[in-house]
């Protein structure tokens, strides 16, 4: 069940940070956290540049006006960074000392796998309550069906692929389009299905160049004049350029490669991302104030849930094999 307005704990001051790769919807989440906490008479402090800012004492007070007009903005007003220093005993001690000096009694961190691993390690040696919120375009975190930024990134990819297909059809070309996702193929799978890709190459499945070439040749025989292959950046074939070069050796066709890159992280968040970010933010505050710690907010398709951070960082999201199977007949 949702955690809405549970029994309130005596936490008076909450710190908020964004860490790791940015994702559209983080600002909507920041807005929700700040205004939810203020509505419950709590103070909120923003930590600039994630864990790196925690080490260097980069704190800024946030109020209702601090988060005005940010709902529609991509990126994060708190900035973000990756911090190797935070994962050292010295770095964690500096961070803890700064939090104590600032009077912080609870922390909410928005980010992906690295952010949540940092929270778990911090909680092993310190006693400040910690709640994580899934913020990554990769949608690869265990325990939640959805992460902030995924829908926006997905729509960015689809828009780009739709445009690429226009020019591919005009020139009778084959395009390999590389998308983000690290070691997860979720973005590749969903964008491939939604954009009508000929093939989808993902880390979860071994890439067989010979089988790919045969499928592309069959497409030509069926009088398809253009094709798009979606490649996840973590695919075992080595990325879109290497795979395209391997295919060229046995497939005489006009082949091009497009790497979408960081445009997938930018842009105004979709309505879905704004709403999900708002849900996660409000429920994270309520979880913290009800005495929860070392948890991540998640989505089970119906409501916000809480998952142990230890489980989140030790497991991977199950791969949607059924959705993969659809591509066999959709690409006919």
Residue pair 297/141 in contact (Cβ under 8 Å)? The answer is no
pLDDT at 1: 37
First vs last C-alpha separation in the chain? 43
Domain 151-265, what fold?
Rossmann fold (3.40.50)
Catalytic positions are 138
Q: What is the pLDDT of residues 302-316, one digit of tens each?
A: 999 999 999 999 998
Q: Is the pLDDT of residue 21 over 80?
A: yes
pLDDT at 226: 80
Q: What is the pLDDT of residues 118-128, one digit of tens each?
A: 999 999 999 89
What value does the mean pLDDT take over residues 58-78?
Answer: 98
The span from the CA of 9 to the CA of 288, in Å, is 8
pLDDT at 119: 96
Q: Which structure tokens are listed for 193?
A: 């299905």
Q: What is the pLDDT of residues 3-20, one digit of tens each?
A: 443 444 689 999 999 999
How does residue 198 score in pLDDT terms, banded at 50, 70 and 90? Answer: very high
64: left (phi over 0), alpha (psi -120 to 50) or beta: alpha
pTM: 0.94
The span from the CA of 37 to the CA of 298, in Å, is 19
Q: How many CB atoms lie within 10 A of CB 173?
A: 18
**SS in 3 state form for 130-147?**
EEEEEECCCCCECCCCCC
Which one has a higher pLDDT value, 222 or 131?
A: 131
Q: Is the pLDDT of residue 251 over 90?
A: yes
How does residue 218 score in pLDDT terms, banded at 50, 70 and 90? Answer: very high
pLDDT at 73: 98
Q: Is the pLDDT of residue 160 over 60?
A: yes
**Mean pLDDT over all residues of the chain?**
95
Task: Return the exposure string of 244-259: e unless at least 16 CB atoms fall within 10 Å of the residue's CB, then b.
Answer: bebbeeebebebebbe
What value does the mean pLDDT take over residues 213-241?
Answer: 93
Q: Which structure tokens are listed for 247?
A: 């295919």
Q: If we measure between CA atoms, which residue out of 263, 52, 76 comes closest to residue 164?
A: 263
pLDDT at 235: 96
Q: If we measure between CA atoms, which residue out of 277, 242, 240, 243 comes closest to residue 261?
A: 240
The span from the CA of 257 to the CA of 309, in Å, is 38
Q: Give me the DSSP letters along 238-295.
A: -SHHHHHHHHHTT--S-EEEEE-GGGGT-SPPPHHHHHHHHHHHHHHHHHHHTT--SE
Name the burial class of residue 272, with classes exposed (0-12), middle (13-18) and buried (19+) by CB atoms within 10 angstroms of its CB. middle
Q: Do domains 13-149+269-314 and 151-265 have the same CATH topology?
A: yes
pLDDT at 6: 41
Bridge partners (DSSP) of residue 259 are: 178
Percent with pLDDT over 90 in the chain: 91
Domain boundaries, the chain: 13-149+269-314, 151-265
Q: Give me the DSSP letters along 70-102.
A: -TT--S-TT-----SGGGSHHHHHHHHHHHHHH
13-149+269-314: CATH class: alpha beta
Gyration radius (Cα) of the chain, Å: 22
Q: Is the pLDDT of residue 260 over 70?
A: yes
pLDDT at 167: 96
């Amino acid at each position: 069940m949702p955690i809405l307005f549970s029994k309130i704990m005596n936490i008076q001051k909450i710190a908020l940070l964004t860490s790791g790769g940015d994702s559209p919807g983080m600002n909507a989440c920041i807005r929700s956290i700040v205004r939810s906490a203020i509505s419950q008479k709590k103070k909120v402090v923003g930590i600039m540049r994630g864990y790196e800012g925690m080490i260097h004492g980069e704190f800024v007070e946030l109020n209702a006006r601090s988060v005005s007009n940010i709902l529609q903005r991509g990126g994060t007003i708190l900035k973000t960074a990756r911090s190797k220093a935070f994962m050292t005993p010295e770095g964690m001690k500096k961070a803890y000392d700064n939090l104590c000096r600032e009077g912080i009694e609870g922390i909410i961190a928005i980010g992906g796998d690295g952010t949540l691993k940092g929270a778990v390690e911090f909680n092993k040696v310190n006693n400040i309550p910690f709640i994580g919120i899934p913020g990554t375009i990769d949608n690869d975190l265990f325990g939640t069906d959805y992460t902030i930024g995924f829908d926006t990134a997905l729509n960015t990819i689809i828009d780009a692929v739709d445009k690429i297909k226009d020019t591919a059809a005009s020139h009778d070309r084959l395009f390999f389009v590389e998308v983000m996702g690290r070691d997860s193929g979720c973005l590749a799978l969903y964008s491939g299905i939604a954009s009508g890709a000929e093939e989808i190459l993902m880390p979860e499945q071994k890439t067989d160049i010979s089988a790919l070439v045969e499928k592309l040749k069959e497409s030509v025989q069926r009088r398809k004049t253009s094709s798009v292959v979606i490649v996840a950046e973590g695919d075992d074939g080595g990325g879109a350029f290497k795979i395209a070069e391997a295919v060229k050796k046995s497939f005489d066709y006009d082949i091009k490669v497009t790497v979408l890159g960081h445009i997938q992280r930018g842009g105004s968040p979709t309505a879905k991302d704004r709403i999900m970010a708002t849900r996660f933010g409000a429920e994270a505050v309520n979880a913290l104030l009800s005495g929860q710690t070392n948890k991540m907010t998640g989505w089970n398709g119906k409501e916000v849930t809480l998952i142990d951070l230890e489980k989140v960082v030790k497991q991977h999201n199950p791969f949607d094999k059924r959705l993969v199977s659809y591509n066999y007949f959709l690409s006919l």
